[in-house]
Each structure stands twice: as structure tokens, then as C-alpha cells.
Amino acid sequence: MMEYIIQNDPVISKRFLNATPLESIKGCGLPFASLKRKLHGDGWLLTGDAGSLICPTTGEGIGPAMLSGYIAANFIQRAILTNDFSANTFKNYDREVYRRMEKEIRYYNMHNKITLRFYNFLINYIMSFSLLKGKINKYFERKIELAYTEKIPVYLD
């Protein structure tokens, strides 16, 4: 599909008109946050994809990367002030990241236990009700609004 778009899309194809591929297109697995992993150690914190923090329910990675980066910045700031970059200084970083991703991880693991056919039926059925669809849209609009207005508390201890 990607090769088709590069060759045939009226906008994209012009950008690649004289391009020569250096290799074939390949895919790889996304590092989902479906399991809790260790995200800290002596002198290091993992954020975003490096910490396998892609949202498992949506496949979205920018939000978790920004959130984990924000949380990491708070821990790094304290490490700089105390000149202590030990694992002990970062010990609560994992808790703070996973506290915010817990719901998505739980939904993902639950989803894996439900057959895809039933899940698709259920989602299509729910979304067929316009009133419910409106409420769901409002819920996500509010979440997006909060992302720009609500300060995120980070507990270092």
C-alpha cells in the first residue's frame, strides 16, 4: 500500500518522482505498554518507545512519549539539584508513568481475552446509537481539552 501511494497519490508521488529507494519497505512490531517493564536505573530513565510505552489500545505513541518525558524531566530536575543520579533517586519514576497508563494496559489485556469478532460487533453496535456516540465524542473532546489546560502532578517521593 505504501509503494502504491508513493507511486500513485497525486500529492505524494510528486515528492518522490526522482527518488530511488535505498531498501525495501519493512514493518516492525510496536513496543506496546502491555506489560510493565523497568524504566529506570543508575543514571538512566526510559521514555516513549525506548520504554515500550506505546498506548496498547490505540497504537498512539506521541502522547505517552510526551507524558513520560514530562515525568522524567521532574525526576531529572531533582537529580540535578541533589547531584544524585542513582536508581534510588529514580525509584518512583516507573510508578508515576504506569499510574497514568494503568487503564490502557488493563483495557488492552482485557481486549486480548475477548475475541476480535465479538469486540468488533460490540463496538459497531455501541457506535450505532447516535446519543451514545455523541457522549463518547464529548468525553474525548474533554480529555483533549484537559491535555492543554490541566497541570500534571508528579510525586517524586
pLDDT 10s digits, 82-131 = 999 999 999 999 999 999 888 888 887 777 777 667 777 887 887 787 77
Q: Which domain holds residue 62?
A: 32-149
Kind of pairing between the strands at 40-41 and 44-45: antiparallel
In the beta sheet, which residues pair with residue 41? Answer: 44
Flag whether 110 is in a domain. Answer: yes
All three cell numbers of 43, joined, read 543514571
Task: Identify whether 15 is part of a domain.
Answer: no
Is residue 13 in a domain? Answer: no
Secondary structure class of 32 (helix, strand, coil): strand
The answer for residues whose C-beta is within 8 angstroms of residue 37's C-beta and 6 or more apart is 46, 51, 52
Tell me the whole-structure pTM to 2 decimals: 0.60
